[in-house]
Amino acid sequence: MKQLADGVWQLAGFPPNAINVFLLDAVLIDASTRCSARKILKELEGRPLSAHALTHAHPDHQGASHAVCERFGVPFWVGEQDAEAAENPKLIGERQPDHFMAQLFAKTMTGPGHHVDRRLHEGDDVASFKVIDVPGHSAGHVAFWRESDGVLVLGDVLNSADVYTLIPGLRTPKDYFTPDPAENRRSARKLALLEPKLVLFGHGPPVTDTKKFVDFVNGLPD
């Protein structure tokens, strides 16, 4: 586990930065695919954990959620519009665009559903962060923002590497994993207004160049 900022850690992924899982204080953010459950549980062993939250209920983010919540007896927190899919993963595939890659990911990565104890809304506190609603890549996608030091965890609103080749570089998530790309770009613009100093992505390495981040978002089509 690698510390990235005060109270912010990134779990070791394999390959590194491919599918990211973070610890914000004692709240686990995202849980990779169902195949990662054993590795995540092992890495969390002996650490204080108070809750598990999702940026969004997609197969590569909720895969080990049930295992984490069961093992550590912690509550599960998900954005209001994604809560139903987090509880009933059949909906995850149904809400993805009708594209074979999206359906393949849904089949091979999705983990079991788990009861959502708290539905997250804009302005809610999660650890030392505030929830921001950023729909588009999923209806209930949320980001986590800490104004005091400019740390932003934005899930899949943007990727900082190609999800297949892992070649670094800012990009929007693939349209066939994104039910509403235009709404997702609006969400990206909302986040760029924050001018974050450290941006943490669901896929790809951290970005610390605020100008590069803001310029990329401002260059996106409407």
Q: Considering beta carbons, is residue 60 or 84 the nearer one to Zn ion?
A: 60
Q: How many residues bind Zn ion (CB under 5 A)?
A: 3
155-184: contacts with Zn ion (CB under 5 A): 156
* Opening angle at CA 104, ends 103 and 106, nearest 5: 65
* Nearest alpha carbon to residue 158 among 67, 220, 208: 220
Q: Considering beta carbons, is residue 126 or 163 the nearer one to Zn ion?
A: 163
Q: Are 137 and 56 in contact (CB under 8 A)?
A: yes
Q: Are 130 and 124 in contact (CB under 8 A)?
A: yes
Segment (H or E) for 192: helix 181-192
Q: Is 60 in the site for Zn ion (CB under 5 A)?
A: yes
Q: Is 202 in the site for Zn ion (CB under 5 A)?
A: yes
Could you tell me which stretch among 24-32, 108-116, 178-186, 197-205 binds Zn ion (CB under 5 A)?
197-205
Q: Residue 86 has which token pair?
A: 């987090």
Q: Considering beta carbons, is residue 7 or 13 the nearer one to Zn ion?
A: 13
**Least distance between Zn ion and beta carbon 80 (Å):** 19
Query: Which string of b and e fits 112-133 if b means at least 16 CB within 10 Å?
Result: ebbebeebbeeebebbbbbbbb
Could you tell me which stretch among 27-35, 144-152, 183-191, 202-210 binds Zn ion (CB under 5 A)?
202-210
DSSP secondary structure letters along 136-178 = SSSTT-EEEEETTTTEEE-TTSSEEE-TTT--EEEEPPPGGG-
* Nearest alpha carbon to residue 31 among 94, 84, 80, 76: 76
Q: Is 206 in the site for Zn ion (CB under 5 A)?
A: no
**Least distance between Zn ion and beta carbon 124 (Å):** 22
**Least distance between Zn ion and beta carbon 105 (Å):** 9
Could you tell me which stretch among 71-79, 142-150, 186-194, 200-208 binds Zn ion (CB under 5 A)?
200-208
**Least distance between Zn ion and beta carbon 148 (Å):** 27
Q: Considering beta carbons, is residue 57 or 127 the nearer one to Zn ion?
A: 57
Q: Is 30 in the site for Zn ion (CB under 5 A)?
A: no
123-162: contacts with Zn ion (CB under 5 A): 156
Would you tell me how many other CB atoms lie within 10 Å of the CB of residue 38? 10
Give SS3 for 24.
strand
**Least distance between Zn ion and beta carbon 63 (Å):** 10
Binding residues for Zn ion (CB under 5 A) = 60, 156, 202
